[in-house]
Amino acid sequence: MILIADGGSTKADWIALDHNKSEVFRVRTLGLNPAVVPQEELKNRIINMFQLINIKDDVTEVHFYGAGCGTPKPVAIFKEVLKEVFINAEINIAEDMLAAVYAASGKSPAVVCILGTGSNSCYFDGEKLHMKVASLGYTLMDEASGNYFGKQLIRDYFYNKMPKKISESFSKQFNLDPDTIKENLYRMPNPNMYLASFARFMFEFKEEKYIKKTIKKGFQEFFKYRILPYGKTKETPIYFIGSIAHYFNDTLEKVANKHNLEITGVIQRPIDNLLAYHKENIN
């Protein structure tokens, strides 16, 4: 049995294949970002999914692509977790950026971007990933991500910058008690995921001027810091992965066009494309 997984901070999609590369099942667990989730919790989130535990001894390969898997320390931690669960498997861990490249451009050169709970980008030259800056996570970077917009919404609410109608709806949907917010941000695990949970609010009001302005500002920052430094022209394909890019594709296109760039494609969930790539290219 072979497992292929695309893991973010909020959720992780798993597909099980038999040795003929035919799909057996797919499941979704909670997020498995080893940079922010404690080691024991990583293990719990896997073993609590009975479909995975039922086949754990039969798994011979695990190909996991995940947020937080771009530096050695969290990779080592997560590899230990996976080895404890899938005791007979060869474990392969790579950053989610590589999964995004496989899912979007395959083997072709392109700028590939992720707008999920966090955000990131790279230039893929057909063989290697090139990243202009290291990703330092939700407190310092992650422009136009779920946690970026969640943070912006909370700030605007408390600074009274939201239009009244939107502010009233926001307060009905979320617990905005200051102590609760601070508890989740400074004492509870996964503060990035907590912040990103507020971003779903934008999907309901995507036609409102305030939301459009907020989204546009975030996308402009993302282009400034995460796309323009690559110095590419409109001839270079640009792909985006994630729900924020999917739901606000029109605004994304407008921001790209202002920089004389074009969006080649937007993929909401990369797991199906990633599966296709594996079936075709990875033995």
Q: What is the pLDDT of residue 209?
A: 95
CA angle 99, 103, 277 (to 5 degrees): 95
CATH number for position 25: 3.30.420.40
For residues 137 and 120, give the distance between their C-alpha atoms in angstroms, rounded to a whole number. 9
- Nearest one of 263, 218, 226 to 132, comparing CA atoms: 226
Number of domains composing the chain: 1
| 171 found inside a domain | no
SS (H, E, C) 13-34: EEEEECCCCCEEEEEEEECCCC
Inform me whether the pLDDT recorded for 274 exceeds 80. yes
Asked if residue 224 belongs to a domain, the reply is no
The verdict on residue 140 lying in a domain is no
Which structural domain, as residue segments, surrounds residue 42? 2-99+271-281
Residue 248 belongs to a domain:
no
- Model confidence pLDDT, tens digit, residues 130-186: 988 888 878 889 999 999 999 999 999 999 999 999 999 999 999 999 999 999 999
| pTM attached to this predicted model | 0.86
Q: How far is CA 66 from the centre of its chain?
A: 8
pLDDT in tens, 78-109: 999 999 999 999 999 999 899 999 999 888 99
Report the percent of the chain where pLDDT is more than 70: 99
The torsion defined by the Cα of 220, 227, 267 and 8, in degrees rounded to 10, comes to -90
**CA 214 to chain CA mean position, Å:** 20
Structural domain includes residue 9: yes
Buried b (16+ CB within 10 A) or exposed e, 139-165: eebbbbbbbbbbbbbbebbeeeebeee
Q: What is the pLDDT of residues 193-233, one digit of tens each?
A: 899 999 999 998 999 999 999 999 999 999 999 999 999 88
- pLDDT over 70 at 283, yes or no: no
